[in-house]
Amino acid sequence: MLNVLLITADQWRADGLSAMGHSILKTPNIDALAADGVLFRQHYCQAAPCAPARACLYTGLYQMTNRLCRNGTPLDRRHDNDALAARRAGYEPTLFGYTDVGADPRAHHPDDPALSTYEGILPGMTVRTPLPGDATAWLSWLRSRGIQVPEEGFDRIFLPAEGPVDPPSDAPTRFAAQDSITAFLTGEFLRWLEEQNERPFFAHLSWLRPHPPFIAAEPYNRMFASEDGSAFVRAAHVDAEGAQHPYLDYVLNSQPKSHFRQGAEGLAAEWNVEDAHRIRQAYWGLIAKIDDEIGRVVRGLKDTGAWDNTLVVLTTDHGEMMGDHHMFGKGGYFDGSYHIPLIARDPRRPAGHGITVDAFTESVDVMPTILEAIGAPVPHQLDGRSLVPFLDGGPAPEDWRRTVHWEFDFRDVASGRAQQALGLPLNACNLAVIRDDRYKYVHFTGLPSLLFDLKLDPGELRDVADDPDYRHVRLECTERLLAWRAHNLDRMLTHTELTEDGPVTA
């Protein structure tokens, strides 16, 4: 049996690796994996933030079908996922980290603690090393190594070792790089890998970083100069940025600094360009650490003899705005939140090793790819398509998608903040995007739509939805988006018909 290793590094932009042409950030180990596998250059996730993005990744279904809208929305228990499918194929899927999948309350007693968090475990996964939001296992490991952990634990361990919390500085973390949460999880996986004794495995290594808080350990905190890199893609002023759309204005006036820098107060949009450079400096350092950990993982696979029999898939859940459009984090409609890395290496398919793919691919493609690779049935209801033809080194199939899609739901079920601020009912707090090589159309249910000409405006700074010269483009995009939704409606039972002779399945 083929081994499977699915690796996710949380909140990772597509341009955050040198194999994608980054001029400053160097990621030699990830580049080496890409050179020995397939690099997908136009890969996009289908939702944000973490839980919705991961639901699409794990189920192979668009948000419109799995309906996991926000962090805290339960995942409907009727949906299949890659872990359950792998179990049916004879594997024991094993988790290192987290999956952020909320439990379906219909399958639990009302007092079940599983219903008090969205950081639940994907059904079908065996947990070897859990890392929920409080990172208890990591903090316990730190204490066992004689490292002092603040009484508040995870909430304060990411405060800088010196200097102010805000404005951001290049001060390092209070712990060394070898004691980081990333290094800890890698070590846990490698220890488990040595225990397998050539038994076929299916593992999910789910790193938290480069997810906030944006602070890196030495030497990664100063690996890049704060002034390095290109200018941020943004309007001249926050007010001018927010004028593009009511939803964008709402985000810029509500996104707190504390989501990205532990202990900071005020709005993230208040950070100036120098502050944004400091944050990006730390972000790149966190990615450089991920690259080093990829090197450890690959060496571990080779040392145990598993490298030549392991499908490795490296990706993330969603992207990161990282100062573009005066924003940090993920969500909304800009490419920075949804254009993400994907590298896959199947050792049995050398014809594909070293190639790059410029066709549009999506997170929902990962599940059917893994299933086909291990010889398991691919359920007909999945929205994604297998990427195995690309792993074989072949061209895109003739009927391959010419567009990518994603959705974002900004409802606040518990607080109602978004609904109140934007004057929208709960079910109108969402958007859907269709994007091709030239145009990007953003359809809001309860707010004005947007259209960008990416050839003339790659930074998505000028909305042309109401420009008469683009009226035909907007109509065509609207029709294509409607056709996409109609084609991908829930197909769980639509391929089955009850007849006098019993059920017939197409």
Which residues are part of the catalytic machinery? 50
Helix, strand counts (H, E) of the chain = 14, 14
3 state SS of 421? helix
3 state SS of 178? helix
Gap between the Cα atoms of 101 and 33, Å rounded = 29
Name the phi and psi angles at 126, rounded to 5: -90, 130
Gap between the Cα atoms of 352 and 102, Å rounded = 37
| 52 cis-preceded (ω within 30 degrees of 0) | no
Structure tokens at 135: 């990172």
Label residue 326 left, alpha or beta by phi (over 0 means left) and psi (-120 to 50 means alpha): left
Q: How big is the chain, counted in residues?
A: 506
Strands 342-345 and 38-44: antiparallel
What is the DSSP code string of 9-53?
Answer: ESS--TTSSGGGT-SS---HHHHHHHHTSEEEEEEE-S--SHHHH
Gap between the Cα atoms of 471 and 476, Å rounded = 9
Residues ≥6 apart with Cβ < 8 Å to 476: none
Which residues on adjacent β-strands are paired with residue 452? 440
Gap between the Cα atoms of 490 and 382, Å rounded = 9
Are 410 and 246 contacting, i.e. CB atoms less than 8 angstroms apart?
Answer: no
Gap between the Cα atoms of 234 and 421, Å rounded = 24
